């Protein structure tokens, strides 16, 4: 059963929340972050990507980078850009992007639940990225970015949230990308107890996005637990910052692929090989082809869009991983035809989130890359089924939108 707790959140002063709230650390590179934060001394990027306040040539994993992040965090607190609530709270975080409307619970999630697979994962982490986030959290003494968790929706929690959002919010702002962010604080002990009890009835939580942050939060807690002879299990380092959404509110977009070359094949040879495992239809007059059902793909190649449909018998329908569209494309086209053996490491392939649209795919192919593939989005049900089976999804299988902003709520580890 899921164990969560309220905590004394560190959060922006109300008049500075829009300036503080920043995109997650991993959706911007250092150069982009420098530009975004250049005229904004309050941006949380100064904490999440602190290399922007050091010379451009510095290695982003240099010790000075982590120390700069700590310096900036506590300067923000000292100058009351960030303030800390004086008692444990839960928070509600609402995201509105067009017709997408999601409300998650901001809570501290248990590292024991992570260790015991009450919090289920569906991706492998990379050692270098996990080490980076671990060091960042340890030196800051804080979880600066939330882990995006989900659970199978419950009516009792839905009903409670419906009542709570009738109250005045703590924050309500529209970010520069047009996404609206609304936050409520829950500090009534009776309601906190009620929420905690509801989650004790939930069998599992699932990492939707933030595998490196959840692994890092757990690692920091494990290290501090081992070093503390008076460890009780209730210390703040036993928990990491999370925002927990009901599964039926989440919006997953396509995560598309672009390959630089045809692996030595001519155009005619490539198309002939694709037709072995896919039904290929040319869309000569269409601006794009966006897949509208499972096992179909859009392909932009040599100035034209094509619809690819996986042929029957080319994938095992009952395997939750191998029947994913990203697996079908990898096993029947990217690997055997284009020679992309390990998409995590092969520099010939790139991944483009659906938020950028299909025009990004055609633009890049027209500019010189070889071929692009538009995917049908993986569903949250597929994600949960894979996690329940103890299996791992292929890389770059899901793209969640809208994104949670960093700096809206911070969790200190002591």
Cα separations in angstroms, 346 against 221, 239, 266: 34, 35, 21
Confidence of residue 288 (pLDDT cuts 50, 70, 90): confident
Q: Which long-range contacts (CB under 8 A, 24 or more apart) does 82-85 make?
A: 82/10, 82/11, 82/12, 82/13, 82/20, 82/407, 82/410, 83/10, 83/11, 83/12, 83/13, 84/8, 84/9, 84/10, 84/11, 84/412, 85/8, 85/9, 85/10, 85/11, 85/185, 85/187
Tell me, yes or no, if the pTM score tops 0.85: yes
| CA distance linking residue 65 with residue 365, whole number of Å | 37
- At residue 354, the pLDDT reads 87
Task: Say yes or no to pLDDT of 147 above 80.
Answer: yes
Q: What is the pLDDT of residues 70-123, one digit of tens each?
A: 999 999 999 999 999 999 999 999 999 999 999 999 999 999 999 999 999 998
Q: What is the pLDDT of residues 153-207, one digit of tens each?
A: 999 999 999 999 999 999 999 999 999 999 999 999 999 999 999 999 999 999 9
Task: Say yes or no to pLDDT of 304 above 90.
Answer: yes
- At residue 182, the pLDDT reads 98
Task: Say yes or no to pLDDT of 284 above 80.
Answer: no
Confidence of residue 396 (pLDDT cuts 50, 70, 90): confident
Architecture of the CATH domain 255-376: 2-Layer Sandwich (3.30)
Calculate what percentage of the chain has a pLDDT beyond 90. Answer: 91
Q: What is the pLDDT of residues 25-74, one digit of tens each?
A: 988 899 999 999 999 999 999 999 999 999 999 999 999 999 999 999 99
Question: What is the 3-class SS of the chain, one letter each residue?
Answer: CCCEECECCEEECHHHHHHHCECCHHHCCHHHHHHHHCCCCCCCHHHHCHHHHCCCCCCCCCHHHHHHHHHHHHHHHHCCCEEECCCCEEEEEEEEECCEEEEEEEEEEEHHHHHCCCEECCCCCCHHHHHHHHHHHHHHCEECCCEEEEECCCHHHHHHHHHHCCCCCCEEEECCCCCEEEEEEECCHHHHHHHHHHHCCCCCEEEEECHHHHHHHHHHHHHHHHHCCCCCCCCHHHEEEEEEEEHHHCCEECEEEEECCCCCCCHHHHHHHHHHHEEEEEECCCCCCCCCCCCEEEEEECCEEEEEEECCCCCCCCCCCCCCHHHHHHHHHHCCCCCCCCCCCCCCEEEEEHHHCCHHHHHHHHCCCCEEEECCCCCHHHHHHHHHCCCCCCCCCCEECCCCCECCCEEECC
Q: What is the mean pLDDT of residues 301-328?
A: 95
- At residue 124, the pLDDT reads 85
Residue 338 burial (10 A CB sphere; 0-12, 13-18, 19+) = buried
- As given in the structure block, the two tokens for residue 214 are 């959840």
Task: Say yes or no to pLDDT of 260 above 70.
Answer: yes
Task: Say yes or no to pLDDT of 12 above 70.
Answer: yes
Confidence of residue 268 (pLDDT cuts 50, 70, 90): very high
Backbone angles phi, psi at 219, to 5 degrees: -65, -40
Task: Say yes or no to pLDDT of 285 above 70.
Answer: no
- At residue 286, the pLDDT reads 66
Task: Say yes or no to pLDDT of 287 above 80.
Answer: no
User: Domain locations in the chain?
Assistant: 4-251+401-412, 255-376
Task: Say yes or no to pLDDT of 136 above 90.
Answer: yes
Confidence of residue 21 (pLDDT cuts 50, 70, 90): very high
| CA distance linking residue 165 with residue 172, whole number of Å | 12
- At residue 283, the pLDDT reads 86
CB atoms within 10 A of CB 281: 12
- As given in the structure block, the two tokens for residue 186 are 């829950």
Q: What angle in degrees, to the nearest 10, is found between the helix axes of 155-164 and 189-199? A: 160
């Amino acid at each position: 059963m899921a164990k969560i707790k309220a905590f004394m959140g560190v959060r922006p002063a109300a008049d500075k929340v829009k300036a503080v709230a920043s995109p997650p650390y991993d959706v911007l590179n250092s150069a982009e972050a420098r530009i975004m934060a250049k005229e904004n001394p309050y941006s949380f990027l100064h904490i999440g990507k602190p290399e922007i306040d050091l010379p451009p040539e510095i290695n982003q994993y240099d010790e000075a980078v982590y120390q700069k992040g700590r310096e900036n965090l506590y300067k923000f607190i000292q100058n009351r850009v960030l303030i800390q609530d004086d008692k444990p709270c839960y928070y509600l975080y609402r995201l509105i992007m067009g017709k997408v409307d999601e409300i998650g619970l901001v809570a501290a999630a248990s590292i024991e639940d992570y260790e015991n697979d009450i919090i289920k994962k569906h991706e492998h982490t990379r050692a270098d990225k996990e080490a980076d986030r671990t060091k960042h959290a340890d030196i800051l003494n804080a979880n600066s970015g939330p882990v995006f968790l989900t659970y199978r929706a419950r009516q009792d929690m839905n009903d409670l949230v419906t009542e709570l959002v009738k109250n005045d919010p703590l924050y309500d702002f529209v970010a520069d990308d047009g996404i609206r962010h609304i936050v409520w604080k829950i500090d009534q002990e009776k309601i906190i107890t009620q929420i905690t009890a509801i989650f004790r009835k939930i069998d599992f939580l699932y990492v939707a996005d933030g595998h490196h942050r959840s692994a890092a939060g757990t690692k920091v807690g494990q290290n501090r637990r081992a070093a503390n002879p008076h460890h009780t299990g209730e210390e703040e380092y036993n928990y990491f910052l999370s925002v927990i959404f009901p599964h039926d509110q989440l919006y997953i977009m396509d995560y598309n692929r672009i390959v630089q070359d045809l692996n030595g094949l001519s155009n005619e040879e490539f198309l002939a090989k694709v037709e072995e495992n896919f039904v290929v239809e040319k869309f000569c007059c269409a601006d794009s082809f966006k897949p509208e059902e499972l096992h179909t793909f859009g392909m932009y190649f040599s100035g034209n869009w094509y619809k690819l449909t996986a042929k029957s018998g080319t994938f095992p329908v009952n395997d939750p991983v191998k029947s994913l569209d990203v697996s079908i494309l990898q096993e029947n086209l990217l690997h055997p035809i284009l020679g992309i053996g390990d998409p995590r490491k092969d520099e010939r392939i790139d991944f483009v989130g659906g938020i950028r649209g299909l025009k990004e795919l055609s633009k890049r192919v027209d500019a010189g890359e070889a071929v692009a593939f538009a995917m049908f989005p993986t569903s949250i049900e597929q994600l949960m089924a894979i996690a329940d089976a103890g299996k791992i999804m292929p890389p770059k299988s899901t793209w969640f939108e809208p994104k949670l902003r960093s700096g809206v709520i911070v969790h200190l580890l002591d």
